[in-house]
């Protein structure tokens, strides 16, 4: 079967089911009653609320970042690497992979305990090995087969929850609710007493598992939609289940019964064998999810060069199954099974999961705080959400086990140093934007990535100035196109006898831009020829930290056309974009409320990526998005066609553009039939029209467009470094 013919997973099977079944695990059956027995209903709900609150914040952060990128294989590794680089992604991903593999052994041990409760005469090692063979065989066939079996397991678990809630002990007319508890502790400690935080540490692993669906990102039909919908739905439903079972337990048993009998939920249910089947199904489904997800994480680590491709573990079958990686993961599981006891390292595994959750929250917090152009999630969350998620993960780590937490952090830091020493790096991440925004000392590292990284692109305008008075008309527009993260470089061009005067005016303009929150610098060149001075400035600034990537110019009179054509040729040669402003002589920018973006018919006939590239339209799309935000403008994207018969395909083309460029829903799209000049005249009144700037620019058309649209026009040519699809 060819790679393109693989059957990909949907939201329900690929994300919702594994996430829900991982959260509704063994702790619900064997420890939730104990939690309520210690803290009462109110204390138990507080434990559940705090744990699920951390999970919910992480799930929201995960969902937000998943809608901001076309997520490939690797799940959390892909998310972290695209933002913070492969060094960080790998240092978190390697222990996360090992943890997921060892977690399979832990779930098998849990299954064995339930099995031996029914059949105590069976040898424990034999049960472990037979369970391993069964889980390995299911995962080896395919992920789709594994998840189909999980549908059956989900039905069993759902039935077991119904059997618990239908238990008569919780619905006795004389039943009293155990509202508060005295925190007596556990049988193992002789009921010597405990604290809220100890109980929280016991329960918290139940709230993990939020990554179970994200681990399958490379096998999902639509990760951008499936991960948010499936993950958040699973978290919501599992939270309701925990609350409902806690309420039932508070009515069904006394504090002594709930704390002394870990199997109280099973014993007091309507039918104990059915609940026991749910317990076995929960451990089995968790093992399956981990066994399916771990090999895919290993393949992603190999693909990114973090882990060597020993014996071809990074290769996948024709159907897309990572069977060699599955065998490698199986060997780790087998080794753990023969150790017979993972209690010593089990807390370390939980810490690695929490570290990965912390970094996911950190990615969202960082990118949303810096206002990077590439950060345009369709599911935006307030910054308080990832902040609380990150703090909650750190808090949980050091509440559960501070010593093991420090060990886990030490392992991650050591791996980071090793990966960095090996020279494993990525250029397609957001670090350059982060470094340049958060600290000046990171300038060298930011420059290293900036030239080749469209995800970290931001507008750095070069604005030539001969007469400072002329620039004042463009002052507000420049601010709106660049703020908040972009920069402006004012380049004064003057004859020798006017350099002093121009310098003084340029300095004043620089201060005004800075007062408006735009990082602005300036310099003055001694040159009587504007075009030569601008080219010299672009060449001199190529090695600057904030290297200009867009030259902004006004159209000017016709006798300056030769200079504009020359500068357009030179900007393309030097890798700089061009923004050519043709202002309306009377209306200016009007009310600054309506923006039109035009795609001519020859572009609409191309695939979106080719149309943006060939039409020099990446910069035009990005500027339209910035103006929509700055002006809160009504933006319309027009796709032109030659005949009415092509309108249907043009609508599909616009839908692709909206999806690929993550265009906000408030932006309107419309198809018009006719030539560009005809449509410019027929369109409703706008304040600014944006169009691509062809290589062979027709400046006569540029001037005519102002009259045709009855508005100002901004023609934009790409530098080749920006991307509206990044």
Report the pLDDT value the prediction gives residue 170, as an integer from 0 to 100. 85
**How many whole angstroms separate alpha carbon 407 and alpha carbon 540?**
49
**Closest residue by Cα to residue 434 from 82, 56, 175:** 82
DSSP output for 91-137: HHHHHHHHHHHHHHHHHHHHHHHHHHHH-TTS-HHHHHHHHHHHHHH
**How many whole angstroms separate alpha carbon 184 and alpha carbon 388?**
31
Backbone angles phi, psi at 493, to 5 degrees: -125, 120
Report the pLDDT value the prediction gives residue 430, as an integer from 0 to 100. 53
| Parallel, antiparallel or unpaired: strands 519-526 and 594-599 | unpaired
Per DSSP, the chain holds a count of helices (H) and strands (E) of 30, 10
Asked if the peptide bond before residue 456 counts as cis, ω within 30 degrees of 0, the response is no
**How many whole angstroms separate alpha carbon 109 and alpha carbon 647?**
61
Report the pLDDT value the prediction gives residue 718, as an integer from 0 to 100. 94
Torsion on CA atoms 460, 462, 468, 469, rounded to nearest 10: -70
Domains and their CATH numbers in the chain: 3-422 (1.20.1740.10), 426-451 (no CATH), 457-582 (3.40.50.620), 587-726 (3.40.50.620)
Mean pLDDT by 10 residues, the chain (726 residues): 56 87 88 94 95 93 83 68 74 84 86 86 92 93 82 94 93 85 88 89 83 73 87 95 96 92 92 93 88 87 83 84 91 87 67 86 82 78 93 88 87 82 59 50 50 77 80 84 90 74 83 88 82 87 79 89 92 93 91 95 95 94 94 95 94 95 93 95 96 91 94 94 89
For Cα atoms 229, 206, 210, give the angle at the middle one, nearest 5 degrees: 25
For Cα atoms 273, 279, 284, give the angle at the middle one, nearest 5 degrees: 125
* Cα torsion 376, 378, 380, 386: sign: negative
Asked if 81 contacts 89 with a C-beta cutoff of 8 angstroms, the reply is yes
Report the pLDDT value the prediction gives residue 4, as an integer from 0 to 100. 41
Report the pLDDT value the prediction gives residue 1, as an integer from 0 to 100. 36
**Closest residue by Cα to residue 544 from 523, 562, 525:** 523
**How many whole angstroms separate alpha carbon 58 and alpha carbon 208?**
10
**How many whole angstroms separate alpha carbon 592 and alpha carbon 688?**
8
Strand partners, 578: 551, 717
Instruction: With H, G, I as helix, E, B as strand and everything else as coil, classify residue 511.
Output: helix
Report the pLDDT value the prediction gives residue 3, as an integer from 0 to 100. 41
60-98 burial, b for 16+ CB within 10 Å, e for fewer? bbbbbbbbbbebebbbbbbbbbbbbbbbbbbbbbbbbbb
**How many whole angstroms separate alpha carbon 129 and alpha carbon 139?**
15
124-141 vs 272-303: helix crossing angle, rounded to 10: 60
**How many whole angstroms separate alpha carbon 401 and alpha carbon 543?**
49
Task: Report the Cα 520 to chain-centroid distance in Å.
Answer: 31
Report the first-to-last Cα separation within the chain, whole angstroms. Answer: 31
Report the pLDDT value the prediction gives residue 25, as an integer from 0 to 100. 84
Which residues have a Cβ under 8 Å from the Cβ of 649 and sit 6 or more positions away?
A: 604, 641
DSSP output for 38-60: HHHHHHHHHHHHHHHHHHHHHHH
DSSP output for 254-279: -HHHHHH-TTHHHHTSS-HHHHHHHH
Instruction: With H, G, I as helix, E, B as strand and everything else as coil, classify residue 34.
Output: helix
| Parallel, antiparallel or unpaired: strands 634-641 and 712-717 | unpaired
């Amino acid at each position: 079967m060819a790679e393109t013919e693989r059957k990909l997973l949907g939201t329900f099977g690929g994300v919702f089911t594994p996430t829900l079944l991982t959260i509704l695990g063994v702790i619900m059956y064997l420890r939730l009653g104990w939690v309520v027995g210690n803290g009462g209903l109110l204390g138990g709900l507080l434990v559940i609320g705090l744990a699920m609150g951390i999970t919910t914040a992480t799930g929201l952060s995960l969902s937000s970042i998943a809608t901001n990128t076309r997520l490939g294989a690797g799940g959390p590794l892909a998310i972290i690497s695209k933002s913070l680089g492969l060094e960080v992604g790998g240092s978190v991903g390697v222990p996360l992979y090992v943890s997921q593999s060892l977690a399979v052994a832990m779930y098998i041990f849990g299954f064995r305990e339930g099995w031996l409760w029914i059949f105590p005469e069976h040898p424990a090692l034999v049960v472990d090995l037979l369970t391993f063979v069964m889980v390995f065989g299911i995962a080896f066939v395919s992920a789709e087969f594994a998840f189909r079996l999980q549908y059956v397991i989900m039905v069993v678990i759902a039935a077991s929850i119904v059997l618990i809630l239908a238990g008569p002990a919780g619905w006795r007319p004389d039943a009293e609710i155990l509202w508060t508890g005295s925190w007596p502790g556990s049988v193992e400690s002789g009921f010597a007493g405990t604290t809220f935080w100890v109980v929280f540490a016991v329960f918290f692993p139940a709230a993990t598992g939020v990554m179970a669906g994200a681990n399958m990102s490379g096998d999902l039909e639509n990760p951008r939609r499936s991960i948010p919908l499936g993950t958040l739905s699973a978290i919501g439903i599992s939270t309701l289940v925990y609350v409902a079972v806690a309420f039932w337990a508070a009515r069904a048993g006394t504090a002594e019964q709930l704390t002394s009998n870990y199997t109280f939920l099973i014993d007091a249910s309507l039918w104990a064998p059915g609940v026991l089947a749910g317990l076995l199904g929960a451990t089995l489904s968790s093992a399956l999810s981990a066994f399916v997800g771990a090999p895919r994480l290993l393949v992603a680590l190999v693909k990114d060069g973090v882990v060597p491709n020993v014996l071809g573990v990074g290769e996948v079958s024709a159907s897309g199954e990572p069977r060699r990686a599955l065998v490698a993961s199986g060997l780790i599981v087998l080794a753990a099974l023969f150790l017979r006891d993972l209690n010593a390292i089990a807390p370390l595994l939980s810490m690695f999961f929490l570290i990965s959750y912390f970094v996911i929250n950190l990615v969202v917090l960082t990118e949303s705080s810096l206002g990077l152009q590439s950060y345009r999630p369709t599911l935006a969350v307030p910054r308080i959400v990832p902040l609380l998620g990150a703090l909650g993960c750190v808090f949980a780590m050091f509440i559960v086990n501070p010593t093991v937490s420090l060990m886990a952090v030490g392992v991650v830091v050591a791996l980071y140093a090793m990966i960095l020493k090996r020279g494993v790096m990525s250029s397609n991440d957001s670090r350059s934007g982060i470094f340049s925004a958060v600290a000046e000392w990171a300038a060298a590292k930011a420059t290293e990535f900036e030239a080749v990284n469209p995800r970290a692109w931001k507008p750095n305008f070069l604005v030539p100035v001969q007469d400072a008075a002329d620039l004042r008309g463009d002052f507000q527009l420049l601010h709106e196109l660049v703020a908040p993260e972009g920069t402006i470089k004012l380049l004064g061009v003057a004859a020798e006898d006017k350099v002093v005067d121009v310098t003084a005016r340029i300095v004043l303009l620089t201060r005004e831009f800075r007062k408006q929150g735009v990082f602005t610098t300036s310099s003055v060149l001694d040159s009587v020829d504007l075009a030569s001075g601008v080219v010299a400035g672009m060449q001199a600034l190529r090695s600057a930290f904030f290297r200009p990537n867009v030259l902004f110019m006004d159209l000017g009179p016709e006798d300056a056309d030769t200079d504009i054509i020359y500068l357009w040729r030179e900007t393309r040669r030097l890798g700089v974009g061009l923004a050519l402003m043709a202002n309306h002589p009377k209306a200016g920018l009007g009310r600054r409320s309506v923006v039109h973006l035009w795609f001519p018919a020859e572009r609409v006939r191309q695939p979106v990526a080719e149309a943006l590239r060939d039409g020099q339209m990446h910069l035009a799309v990005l500027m339209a998005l910035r103006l929509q935000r700055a002006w809160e403008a009504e933006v319309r994207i027009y796709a032109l066609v030659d005949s009415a018969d092509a309108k249907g395909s043009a609508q599909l083309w616009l839908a692709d553009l909206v999806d690929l460029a993550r265009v906000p829903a408030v932006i309107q799209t419309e198809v018009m039939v006719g030539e560009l000049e005809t449509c410019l005249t027929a369109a409703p009144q706008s304040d600014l029209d944006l169009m691509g700037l062809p290589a062979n620019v027709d400046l006569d058309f540029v001037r005519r467009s102002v009259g045709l649209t009855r508005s100002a026009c901004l023609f934009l040519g790409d530098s080749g470094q920006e991307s509206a699809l990044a």
